[in-house]
């Protein structure tokens, strides 16, 4: 009896499952018939709820912010797990673990870690096959915003192994890379255009930095200045949204507290600032030296053909350094905190040794090919440099009275970071956000400005533009050249499906309901554009009755709007793009025949032009600076007198 009942129930469910497709088809057909009969009401609803391009980008940025916040938490938990797995000291800071280990283990673990991380990269990249570039700036500057997903996963695993075994790199690099990769992958699956993929990559970078440092403004400024090179509001607003969402998710897990605590100090006199100018000069020199040594280190390690052998050698050199200075293990966050709180506990000589050891260890680790960030190690170097100057001034009886050495350390952090990134604004914002101490603004601003100028005079490229320079890619020249040389035909898409002149008003309403466009082109039998129907022009008909079946597109259409041509340069099309109200500006074969051949997405074209204008401004200011610094040529010697009369002009 029980068996018969079960068989009966199974037969019932099988019958219902077989009927589901029919049910879905019936629901779809009923919905479509309802919209056809009530298209006027549906148009009113659509007009109220349809999202603009800017609102859509904000929603997308919020989703990317969620991705960044979740990735930050997962990456942190994974690092903790990797350290517990490799070091067998759960719950302890990695520097404390290094101090507890015997010297053979302290020397051996970085070697094995480099070998394992290199093997993951070597064999993992072979397994996934050849893919595109993983450099964020490159895919934005010279690419279409597509970051390879499988390569990103392999690099993230390698980064976890490196960080878990004490490599002198930060976790912010892996978090930022993975967040940007996930955002790009989402856009690729949605088949979005390149301009939107580039924005998603920038939002991922902003979310990664904001989550890693609990610094939403820093994340947005980093993505706008470093990744996009553009602060226009239509791009900056989504970056802010992604940063805020990511940082709030991170705060829900890690809490809200400053990364580094520095005592307040009131700068009330200009005589308190000269020593921070000196600190800015030293920081600029250290930043330029760091960049130059990174370049030399990468060139030297490139001579070793096998990646895992290269990274194992890097681990060997770093392991040797840790025999004397275990403080170089990890990103240096906890040691930086100790330096800021009690620099005298290290002593001037010992702190000098730690500073040099961390400098060399970071250069070796990054140069050998380890995947990770350099922001936190750079902050370590800045704190060490500032503390050394502050201690030297105290021992010599110089400098402002009652000025804590921790203040020199914080200003040093910001100024060395500014020297390596060539972005004093980013360094100032980051130093203020991670300390939540705004009393140091005058000294911090001055030192960051001086260090940037000094570093730029000593080394041409920043830490982020150096890889592009090695691949013969210039950010400004690419943006300027590409935008001016591109034509409408290079960027245009398929045209918006047009209406015919005799299309009835209910059919027009159905077309508006089934597409995101507020304007529909009208063509004749030869596909020549004869007019344009706007959604807002149909408002007066929404309350009418069945007599609307006699109204056709020719009765309600506007005259043809200004159109673009496929061979038209992007810059020449700017007046039409600015004057147009349409999301998809129509492209015709000629202005005389006006046969519809495509559509130009207005937001994409204006975004490319905005990047071009920003690059033009930056290039022009740099040229003017060089022209001012270049000495005027000596006047030519007086020409010999000639009896021949001057030639007519």
Query: Could you identify the residue written with the tokens 């680790």?
Result: 365
Of the three residues 254, 279, 294, the one that is the final residue of a domain is 254
Q: What is the pLDDT at residue 437?
A: 82
Here the CATH number for the domain that contains residue 499 is: 3.10.580.10
How many percent of the chain have pLDDT more than 70? 81
What pLDDT is stored for residue 35 in this prediction? Answer: 56
C-alpha distances in angstroms, 303 versus 98, 298, 360, 512? 30, 9, 19, 62
Q: What SS3 state is found at 88?
A: coil
Q: Give rounded-to-5 percent helix, strand, coil for the chain.
A: 70, 5, 25
The two structure tokens encoding residue 497: 């499906």
Tokens of 483: 């935008």
| pLDDT tens figures, 510-524 | 787 777 788 889 999
With 0-12 / 13-18 / 19 or more C-beta atoms within 10 angstroms meaning exposed / middle / buried, residue 485 is exposed
Asked if pLDDT for residue 36 goes beyond 60, the answer is no
pLDDT at residue 32, rounded to an integer: 62
Listed in sequence order, the residues at least 6 apart from 415 whose beta carbon sits closer than 8 Å to its beta carbon are: 279, 280, 283, 284, 382, 386, 427, 444, 447, 448, 450, 451
Are 177 and 171 in contact, with CB atoms under 8 Å apart?
Answer: no
- Is residue 196 in a domain? yes
One domain for residues 88 and 164:
yes
Closest-CA residue to 340 (of 411, 434, 445, 261): 261
**For residue range 279-301, what is the model confidence (pLDDT) as tens digits?**
999 999 999 999 999 999 999 99
* pLDDT surpasses 70 at 180: yes
Burial code (b: 16+ CB inside 10 Å, e: under 16) for 527-553 equals bbbbbbbbbeebeebeeeeeebeebbb
Do residues 204 and 184 touch, judged by C-beta distance below 8 A?
A: yes
Q: Which of 385, 394, 217 is nearest to 290 (CA)?
A: 385
Percent of the chain with pLDDT over 90: 41
Mean pLDDT of the chain: 82
Query: Is the domain of 298 the same as that of 375?
Result: yes
> Which pLDDT score, from 0 to 100, does residue 218 have?
95
| 445 and 321 inside one domain | yes
Residues 332 and 422 in one domain: yes
Determine how β-strand 519-523 pairs with β-strand 529-534: antiparallel
Domain for residue 46, yes or no? no
188 and 312 together in one domain: no
- Tell me, yes or no, whether 274 and 416 share the same domain: yes
Same domain? For 465 and 353 the reply is yes
Residue 448 within a domain = yes
Question: How far is it, in rounded angstroms, from Cα 193 to Cα 499?
Answer: 25
pLDDT at residue 40 greater than cutoff 60: no
Average pLDDT over residues 108-128: 93
- Closest by alpha carbon to 586, among 508, 516, 536, 531? 531
Q: Structural domain of residue 124, as residue ranges? A: 53-254
Note the pLDDT of residue 418.
Answer: 96
Quote the pLDDT of residue 402.
76
Q: What pLDDT does residue 628 have?
A: 46
Query: Would residue 611 count as lying in a domain?
Result: no
Instruction: Determine, yes or no, domain membership for 25.
Output: no
Task: Name, in order, each residue with C-beta under 8 angstroms of 646's C-beta and a sequence gap of 6 or more.
Answer: none
Q: Write the CB contacts of 228 (distance below 8 Å, at least 6 apart in sequence).
A: 140, 198, 199, 202, 235, 239, 611
Global pTM?
A: 0.73
Instruction: Looking at the structure, tell me whether residues 324 and 463 fall in a common domain.
Output: yes
**Window from 160-174, 364-378, 460-474, 489-503 with minimum mean pLDDT:** 460-474
Give pLDDT, residue 624. 46
Residue 132 and residue 226 in one domain? yes
Residues 417 and 527 grouped into a single domain? no
Averaged pLDDT for residues 129-149? 83
In three state form, how does the secondary structure of 560-629 look? CCCCECCCCECCCCHHHHHHCCCCEEEEECCCCCCEEEEEEEHHHHHHHHHHHHHHHHHHHHHHHHHHHH
Is the pLDDT confidence value at 626 over 50? no
Beta partners for residue 595, in sequence order: 528
Whether 162 maps to a domain, the answer reads yes
CATH number at residue 357: 1.10.3080.10
Domain count, the chain: 3
Residue 625: pLDDT over 80:
no
Q: Is the pLDDT of residue 34 over 70?
A: no
| Mean pLDDT for the stretch of residues 142-148 | 82
Q: Is residue 42 part of a domain?
A: no
Same domain as 358, residue 401: yes
pLDDT tens-place string over residues 470-479:
766 655 444 4
Pick 473 or 624 by higher pLDDT: 473
pLDDT for 271: 81
Average pLDDT estimate for 486-506 = 81
60 pLDDT above the threshold of 50: yes
Between 94-108, 446-460, 635-649, the lowest mean confidence (pLDDT) is in 635-649
Predicted confidence at residue 183, as pLDDT, reads 96
588 lies in a domain?
A: yes
Q: For 303, which DSSP code?
A: T
Contact 222, 373 (CB under 8 A): no
Say whether both 249 and 143 belong to one domain. yes
pLDDT of residue 17 exceeding 80, the answer is no
C-alpha 609/C-alpha 611 separation (Å) is 5
């Amino acid at each position: 009896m029980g068996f018969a009942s079960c068989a009966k129930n199974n037969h019932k469910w099988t019958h219902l499952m077989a009927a589901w497709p029919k049910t879905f088809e019936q629901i779809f057909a009923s919905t479509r018939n309802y919209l056809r009969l009530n298209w006027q009401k549906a148009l009113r609803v659509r007009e109220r709820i349809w999202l603009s391009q800017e609102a859509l980008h904000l929603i997308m940025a919020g989703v990317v912010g969620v991705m960044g916040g979740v990735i930050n938490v997962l990456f942190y938990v994974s690092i903790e797990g990797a350290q517990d797995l490799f070091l067998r000291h759960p719950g302890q800071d990695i520097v404390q673990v290094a101090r507890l280990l015997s010297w053979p283990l302290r020397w051996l673990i970085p070697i094995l870690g480099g070998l394992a991380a290199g093997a993951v990269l070597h064999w993992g990249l072979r397994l996934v096959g050849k893919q595109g570039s993983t450099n964020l700036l490159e895919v934005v500057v010279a690419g279409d915003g597509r970051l390879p997903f499988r390569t990103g996963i392999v690099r993230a695993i390698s980064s976890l192994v490196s960080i878990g075994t004490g490599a002198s790199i930060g976790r912010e690099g892996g978090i930022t890379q993975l967040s940007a990769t996930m955002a790009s992958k989402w856009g690729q699956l949605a088949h979005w255009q390149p301009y939107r993929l580039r924005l998603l990559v920038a939002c991922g970078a902003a979310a990664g930095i904001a989550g890693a440092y609990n610094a939403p403004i820093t994340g947005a400024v980093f993505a706008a200045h470093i990744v996009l090179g553009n602060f226009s509001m239509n791009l900056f607003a989504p970056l802010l949204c992604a940063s805020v969402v990511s940082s709030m998710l991170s705060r829900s897990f890690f809490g809200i507290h400053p990364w580094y605590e520095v005592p307040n100090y009131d700068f009330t006199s200009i005589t308190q600032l000269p020593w921070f100018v000196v600190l800015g000069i030293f920081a600029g020199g250290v930043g330029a030296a760091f960049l130059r040594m990174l370049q030399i280190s990468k060139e030297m390690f490139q001579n070793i053909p096998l990646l895992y052998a290269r990274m194992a050698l890097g681990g060997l050199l770093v392991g040797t350094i840790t025999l004397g200075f275990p403080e170089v293990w990890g990103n240096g966050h906890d040691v930086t905190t100790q330096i800021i709180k009690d620099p005298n506990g290290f002593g001037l000589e010992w702190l000098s040794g730690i500073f040099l050891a961390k400098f060399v260890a970071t250069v070796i680790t990054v140069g050998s090919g380890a995947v990770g960030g350099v922001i936190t190690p750079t902050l370590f170097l800045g704190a060490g440099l500032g503390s050394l100057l502050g201690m030297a001034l105290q021992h010599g009886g110089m400098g402002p009275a009652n000025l804590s050495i921790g203040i020199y350390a914080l200003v040093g952090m910001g100024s060395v970071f500014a020297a390596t990134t060539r972005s004093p604004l980013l360094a100032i914002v980051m130093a203020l956000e991670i300390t939540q101490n705004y009393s140091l603004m005058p000294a911090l601003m001055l030192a960051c400005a001086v260090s940037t100028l000094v570093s730029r005079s000593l080394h041409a490229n920043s830490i982020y533009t150096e890889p592009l320079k090695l691949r013969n890619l210039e950010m400004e020249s690419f943006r300027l050249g590409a935008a001016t040389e591109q034509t409408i035909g290079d960027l245009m898409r398929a045209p918006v499906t047009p209406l015919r002149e005799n299309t009835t008003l209910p059919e027009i309403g159905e077309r508006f309901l089934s597409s995101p466009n507020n304007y529909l082109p009208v063509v004749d039998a030869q596909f020549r554009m004869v007019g344009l129907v706007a959604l807002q022009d149909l408002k007066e008909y929404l309350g009418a009755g069945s007599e609307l079946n006699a109204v056709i597109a020719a009765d309600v259409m506007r005259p043809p709007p200004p159109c673009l041509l496929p061979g038209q340069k992007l810059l020449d099309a700017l007046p039409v793009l600015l004057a147009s109200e349409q999301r998809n500006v129509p492209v015709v074969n000629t202005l005389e025949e006006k046969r519809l051949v495509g559509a130009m997405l207005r937001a994409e074209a204006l975004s490319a032009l905005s990047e071009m204008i920003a690059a033009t401004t930056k290039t022009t200011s740099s040229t003017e600076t060089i022209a001012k610094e270049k000495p005027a040529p000596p006047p030519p010697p007086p020409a010999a007198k000639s009896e021949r009369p001057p030639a007519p002009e």
